Chain A
Amino acid sequence: MLQDTTTSRMKPAIALEGISKTFPGVRALSEVSLALYPGSVTALVGENGAGKSTLVKILTGIYQPDEGSIRVDGAETHFPTANAAAKAGVTAIHQETVLFDELSVAENIFLGHAPRTRLGLIDWRRMNADARALLARVGADLDPSIRLRDLGIASKHLVAIARALSIDARVVIMDEPTAALSHKEIHELYELVDRLKADGKAILFISHKFDEIFRIADRYTVFRDGRMVGEGLISETTQDDLVRLMVGRDVGQVFPKQDVAIGEPVLTVSGYRHPTEFEDIHFELRRGEILGFYGLVGAGRSEFMQSLIGITKPSAGAIKLHGEIKVIRSPAEAIAAGIVYVPEERGRQGAIIGLPIFQNVTLPSLSRTSRAGFLRMAEEFALARDYTSRLDLRAASLDQDVGTLSGGNQQKVVIAKWLATRPKVIILDEPTKGIDIGSKAAVHAFMSELAASGLSVIMVSSEIPEIMGMADRVIVMREGRIAGRFERAELTAEKLVRAAAGIEEAA
Chain B
Amino acid sequence: MAETQMVARHIPDRLEGRGARLVKSWETLLVAVALAIFLVNSFASPYFLDPWNLSDATFNFTEKAMIAFAMALVIISGEIDLSVASVIALTSTVMGYAVQLGFDTPALVLIGLATGLLCGAFNGLLVTGLGLPSIVVTIGTMSLFRGLSFVILGDQAFTGYPASFSWFGQGYVWWVFSFEFCLFLALAILYGVVLHKTNFGRAVYAIGNNQTAALFSGVRVGRVKFVLFLLTGLMAAVASICLTARLGSTRPSIALGWELEVVTMVVLGGVNILGGSGTIPGVVLAALIMGMVTFGFGLLNVPGIVMSIFIGLLLISVIALPILYRRFRGSR
A interface, CB within 8 angstroms of B: 309, 311, 330-332, 334-335, 341, 343, 348-355, 358-359, 363-364, 366-367, 370, 373-375, 381, 385-386, 388-390, 392-400, 417
Contacts and interface: CB of A to CB of B under 8 A. Distances in A.
B213 interface: yes
B220 A332 contact: yes
Interface stretch (B10-18, B43-51, B158-166, B259-267): B10-18
What 8 A-B pairs are tightest by C-beta distance, nearest first? A354-B209, A332-B218, A397-B15, A335-B218, A352-B210, A364-B218, A363-B217, A364-B217
Given A350-B216, A354-B210, A363-B214, A397 B13 contact: yes
A272 to B, nearest CB: 19
A367 B218 CA distance: 11
Contacts of A349: 212-213, 216
12 contacts: A331-B215, A348-B213, A352-B206, A352-B213, A359-B202, A364-B217, A373-B199, A373-B200, A375-B197, A385-B6, A390-B2, A398-B14
User: Which bucket holds chain B's interface residue count?
Assistant: 20 to 34
B205 A355 contact: yes
Contacts of A381: 13
Contact of A363 (B6, B9, B13, B202): B202
A388 B210 contact: no
Contacts of B244: none
B11 A395 contact: yes
B122 to A, nearest CB: 24
Given A348-B210, A370-B199, A374-B197, A311 B216 contact: yes
Contact of B277 (A309, A354, A394, A396): A354
A385 B198 contact: no
* Candidate in B11, B206, B209 with the most chain A CB atoms within 10 angstroms: B11
Contacts of B202: 359, 363, 366, 375
A350 B12 CA distance: 23
Interface in B279-316: none
Interface in B3-58: 5-6, 8-15
B198 A373 contact: yes
Contact of B11 (A348, A353, A375, A389): A389
B275 to A, nearest CB: 9
B276 interface: yes
B211 to A, nearest CB: 9
B99 interface: no
Contacts of A397: 11-15
Contacts of B198: 370, 373-375
A483 to B, nearest CB: 27
B217 A385 contact: no
Nearest to A367: B199
B8 to A, nearest CB: 8
A366 B14 CA distance: 20
A363 B6 CA distance: 22
B153 interface: no
Contacts of A392: 5, 8-9
B209 A393 contact: no
A366 B209 CA distance: 17
Contact of A354 (B5, B11, B212, B276): B276
Contacts of B126: none
Nearest to B220: A332
B191 to A, nearest CB: 15
Contact of B15 (A311, A358, A359, A396): A396
A355 B216 CA distance: 15
A330 B199 contact: no
B219 interface: yes
Contact of B5 (A335, A350, A389): A389
Nearest to A394: B9
A397 B6 CA distance: 14
Contacts of A367: 199
B218 A331 contact: yes
Interface in B174-227: 197-202, 205-206, 208-210, 212-220
Given A330-B220, A352-B217, A374-B198, A400 B15 contact: yes
A375 B199 contact: yes
Given A352-B209, A393-B11, 12 more contacts: A348-B212, A350-B216, A351-B210, A354-B210, A354-B277, A363-B206, A374-B199, A386-B6, A396-B12, A396-B15, A397-B12, A398-B13
